[in-house]
Structure 1
């Protein structure tokens, strides 16, 4: 679900439910989907626990939004972030939103933004409740953002046997190939990836230790992958097929 840089995105970060160590990877990931026209982070900046954010905010020009905790045990940050999100939505200046939090309180916000025809990219830890992740068009676990390009040793690749045991994963891939395939069972990789994203917003090959969808599909040893050149020989496309169709 990658978009071009012309897409204007509003990035809203819940400082209480995110870590400053993700910021560099976060901004790199967001750049795949568009331009971060607005970058705001919400929290009570009088609290020492948020002191670690300062360097990252300055480096990436993220605007800190102050929200005092009026009542102990209540999170006023969520309300402030939701109000700002709706104001930005109604401005009509954006093509999508990036909501960075592991808090299920943003489930309805994500759904409401999508109802208006905008794309929602969610970012949160693996502990993020499923309803919030499913409410987004695409959800990226922040653990994969910490294990960046310079730290490949931190990414543990699932073996073929372990991937095969994940019946949900295999069924998602098979369904996506079946939905996009020709009469011989071959499907172009691009449409397959788009179909997978529609079935499961949380899907990301990096969750299984693979950078690309092709690498993950090959690793399962359940699908064929081939390159097919165009009639003029100027371009090539990747195709995949369930080995059961042989």
Structure 2
């Protein structure tokens, strides 16, 4: 029997998110589970959130009113956090999607994970590192916006550009090494899982590629091998560092 899709609570900080991301956001969330709770927090009496109203009706997102009682104090954050804790203990959820670029939700993300639930974070690239690292996975919302102008999309980085990104190179090589067998070959699936544990914000779309497999091929860092599985109708992708392959004759 197929497992049921995890139930997710989507909590949006309207002060730190843009309505243009909603369609792509919900499509992305659908990859991980079912958005059974969809709430957005802000002061809806003012004009600053006017752009959200059409999106709320179209996607059945419940607005939660939070007045600004004191200048300089963010009451929206407090309301979202209180609701999240109520849902954590009162609803049967598989995880939370926190949509904000605000580091104030760092402790919330950590607390939800301590309870054994998955946390998906969504925010702009300016999001502080502590909040990003507190999530199981963090997706930058810039890649979720459907841009009509093709020139505005993320152009695929070349092999030379990818190799110049020392953090990316180390991330890929470490993940392959950690997932490899004695001969140095690693299945792409476990490699992706290892990367997610190391860097919640990693996403091949940030480099202009739809899939991890496309990114590793473009990097030129690995040997690529397709292997047939089971009855031969399906295949799996295996990787091995070119550096390890080059050392092999000398070790023999």
TM range (shorter): over 0.9
Does the 8 Å contact 1:5/1:32 carry over to 2? no
* Aligned counterpart, 2:143: 144
SS in 1 for 2:51: helix
Moved more, 182-191 or 112-121: 182-191
* Aligned counterpart, 2:248: none
Give, in whole Å, the separation in 2 of the partners of 1:182 and 1:115: 32
The unaligned stretches of length 5 or more in structure 2 are 246-252
Aligned length: 242
Give, in whole Å, the separation in 1 of the partners of 2:230 and 2:123: 44
SS in 2 for 1:36: strand
The superposition leaves residues 85-127 of structure 1 with CA deviations (integer Å, 9 ceiling, x where unpaired) of 0000001410000000000000000000000000000000000
Give, in whole Å, the separation in 1 of the partners of 2:65 and 2:169: 45
SS in 1 for 2:113: helix
Structure 1 residue 234: deviation in Å?
Answer: 2.6
- Please show how residues 95-106 of structure 1 align to structure 2 within 5 Å: 95-106=94-105
Does the 8 Å contact 1:96/1:120 carry over to 2? yes
SS in 2 for 1:175: helix
Does the 8 Å contact 1:5/1:33 carry over to 2? no
**CA 147–224 in structure 1, closer or farther in 2 if over 3 Å, else same:** farther
Q: Does 1:217 align with 2:216?
A: yes
* Aligned counterpart, 2:112: 113
Does the 8 Å contact 1:5/1:35 carry over to 2? no
The unaligned stretches of length 5 or more in structure 1 are none
Calculate the TM-score normalised by the size of structure 2: 0.93
Whichever of the two has the greater Rg, that structure is 2
Moved more, 109-118 or 229-238: 229-238
Give, in whole Å, the separation in 1 of the partners of 2:5 and 2:165: 37
Give, in whole Å, the separation in 2 of the partners of 1:122 and 1:184: 36
Calculate the TM-score normalised by the size of structure 1: 0.95
* Structural RMSD (CA): 1.4
* Aligned counterpart, 2:249: none
* Aligned counterpart, 1:228: 227
* Aligned counterpart, 1:48: 47
Q: Does 1:178 align with 2:174?
A: no
